[in-house]
Amino acid sequence: MTRQPAHTPPRLRAWLGLAVILGPVLLVSMDGSILFLAMPSITEAVSPTADQALWILDIYGFAVGSLLVAFGSIGDRYGRLRLLMIGATVFGIASAGAAFAPGPELLIACRALMGVAGATLLPSALAVLSELFPDPKQRARAIGIFAAAFAAGFAIGPVVGGTLLGQFWWGSVFLVNLPVIVAFLLFAPVLLREVRATRTGRIDLLSVMASAGGLLLTIYGVKHLAADGFSALPVVTGLLGLATLTFFVLRQRHLEDPLIDFSLFRDRTFTIAVVTGLLPLAAWSATAYLSGIYLQSVLGLSVLHAALLALPGAAVLTVTCVVTPAFVEHIGKKAALVICHFAVAGGLLLLLPTTVTGGVGWYVASTVIAGVGYGISFSVVADTAVGAVPAERAGSAGAIAETSNEIGNALGIALLGSLAALLFRVQGPDLAPTLDETLQLPDLVPAALRDAKDAFVTGLHAAAVVAGLLHAALGAVALRRLSRPTTAAPGSSGTTGRPAHEHLAGRP
């Protein structure tokens, strides 16, 4: 591995290293949402079924979320920079494969591989970042920029995807990753140093397989029930998934080094913070995906026009993420979490006046109001979760909080998207499983077209109402029961302090 030049000033190396790390972080979060506006184009190009279309969207998030904690442990043992380099290489190869996939099966496989690679990047990137900034104040500032970049990736994903599709073919939403990956692979060995932990626990492969397999089986069953109706296969699959997840939870209680320490959930503040990490991402991913179809397939807007309409909400989300730390200093985290949930709930309910003939203004207003809540969620969840537990558990708490974001992103599309698909199947003209497939049918009569669009809008409204009510309920719980977190002592935070057992590993 290339040795860092001796004349590079440490402070300059740190900020350049941060810039290099932000590239993969932005890609990992952006690829969780970049397909929201691209799905109509992908559907037309590779003709996925309704079930395959949902898998194209959410297999990535499930792969990332299921493996984050495991790859954090692997990075501790074998070297975080090494894992970053391997993960970035695989991410680039999988992105190229997705761009040129001839059918939905290979596209799903490449998206899954991108998710596996993405899970190697996030925890290791944050650990390497801690080495770059030994000063607590600078490290806190750098981690704030890290969080803002991660949040911005989710926000700008649909905008980037829509802009690219306005000029290029659908595969460009994957090829855009390659220049960033190449730059990272060139500069990371020069600017970053290897970091390992001297004390690492055994990685329980059975727990890794149980958590990932249980999630996938459960969501597979839910999606099939929504798309195809009640039958034995999805019921058995879903129950098997739930049983596998139950086995995973019980196994963690008896392991010396569990992947997830479930005793952390005994703390009320920690539990609310983790749910706050999951639920806003679930609501945002589902409504962004459904709204993208609404703007293009219902209202007939171009993909570029739809992308531009998403810009105000993306800007509000990003700015809110950046200014929230200073805002929290004045009002406290309890008030911030309450505002987060009620802002998301209010924004989602603004989607209800949308109709098959118009609703662009309501859509923009919805994304702007909800964007305030989403931005607060990105900024305060990890810090709240870490601050709610003893310092020796901060690493585990941070990993759970980060995992909740990724799982929320995938669950939103799988569950709320399945609810919308179910309502379309029940109330639609029963000509095809999805709106886009219905619109492609030859000789579609105007009455059937109107019925299909009405059914889709009903599904969009249902998803918005369910997510909005869940946010309002959680906001009420936070308002009544969440005590103001005690201010942690300097250096005790798992996100701003560096564990004493870490050391710099020599480079080969």
Kindly report which listed range (86-90, 348-352, 475-479) carries the lowest average pLDDT score.
475-479
The predicted model scores a pTM of 0.70
pLDDT at 383: 63
What's the rounded mean pLDDT across residues 383-395?
Answer: 56
- Residues 427 and 404: their CA atoms lie apart, in Å, by 33
pLDDT at 215: 76
pLDDT at 73: 66
- In whole numbers, what is the pLDDT of the chain averaged over residues? 78
Kindly report which listed range (157-166, 191-200, 241-250, 318-327) carries the lowest average pLDDT score.
191-200
pLDDT at 485: 44
pLDDT by residue (tens digit) across 405-418? 767 766 787 788 88
Closest CA to 426 of 230, 283, 231, 292: 230
Going by pLDDT thresholds of 50, 70 and 90, the confidence category of residue 110 is very high
Task: Return the structure tokens found at 370.
Answer: 């909800």
Residue 498 confidence (pLDDT) above 60: no
Task: For the beta carbon of residue 319, count every other beta carbon within 10 angstroms.
Answer: 16
Largest CA-CA distance found in the chain, in angstroms, rounded: 73
What's the rounded mean pLDDT across residues 259-281?
Answer: 77
Concatenate the DSSP letters of all residues of 160-206 into one string.
HHHHHHHHS-TTHHHHTHHHHHHHHHHHHHHH---EEESS-PPP-HH
- Residue 59 has, within 13 A of its CA and on its CB side, a CA count of 21
pLDDT at 85: 87
pLDDT at 345: 94
Residue 460 confidence (pLDDT) above 90: yes
Question: Which of 150-159, 359-368, 420-429, 471-480 holds the top average pLDDT?
Answer: 359-368
pLDDT at 507: 35
Going by pLDDT thresholds of 50, 70 and 90, the confidence category of residue 132 is confident
- For the chain, which residues make up each domain, given as ranges? 10-204+255-504, 205-254
Under DSSP, is residue 259 helix (H, G, I), strand (E, B) or coil? coil
Task: State the CATH class of domain 10-204+255-504.
Answer: mainly alpha
Question: Which of 49-58, 296-305, 340-349 holds the top average pLDDT?
Answer: 340-349
pLDDT at 399: 61
pLDDT at 445: 87
pLDDT at 118: 85
For the chain, what percent of residues have pLDDT higher than 90?
16
Residue 142 confidence (pLDDT) above 60: yes
Question: Which of 173-187, 266-280, 490-504 holds the top average pLDDT?
Answer: 173-187
pLDDT at 244: 92
Residue 202 confidence (pLDDT) above 90: no
pLDDT at 4: 45
pLDDT at 166: 74
pLDDT at 320: 84
What is the radius of gyration, based on Cα positions, of the chain? 22
- Distance, CA of 65 to chain centre: 8
- Residues 409 and 154: their CA atoms lie apart, in Å, by 9
pLDDT at 496: 39
Residue 303 confidence (pLDDT) above 70: yes
Sole residue written with tokens 């099939």: 224
Residue 394 confidence (pLDDT) above 80: no
Contacts of 206 (CB under 8 A, 6+ apart): 251
Sole residue written with tokens 């406290």: 332
Task: For the beta carbon of residue 363, count every other beta carbon within 10 angstroms.
Answer: 23
pLDDT at 201: 60
Going by pLDDT thresholds of 50, 70 and 90, the confidence category of residue 1 is very low
Q: Where are the alpha helices (DSSP H) in 203-259?
A: 205-228, 232-252
The secondary structure of residue 347, as a DSSP letter, is H
Residue 306 confidence (pLDDT) above 90: no
Residue 116 confidence (pLDDT) above 70: yes
The secondary structure of residue 448, as a DSSP letter, is H
Going by pLDDT thresholds of 50, 70 and 90, the confidence category of residue 472 is very high
Task: For the beta carbon of residue 401, count every other beta carbon within 10 angstroms.
Answer: 24
For the chain, what percent of residues have pLDDT higher than 70?
79
The secondary structure of residue 429, as a DSSP letter, is -
pLDDT by residue (tens digit) across 215-266? 778 877 776 776 566 778 888 988 998 999 899 888 888 887 777 777 777 7
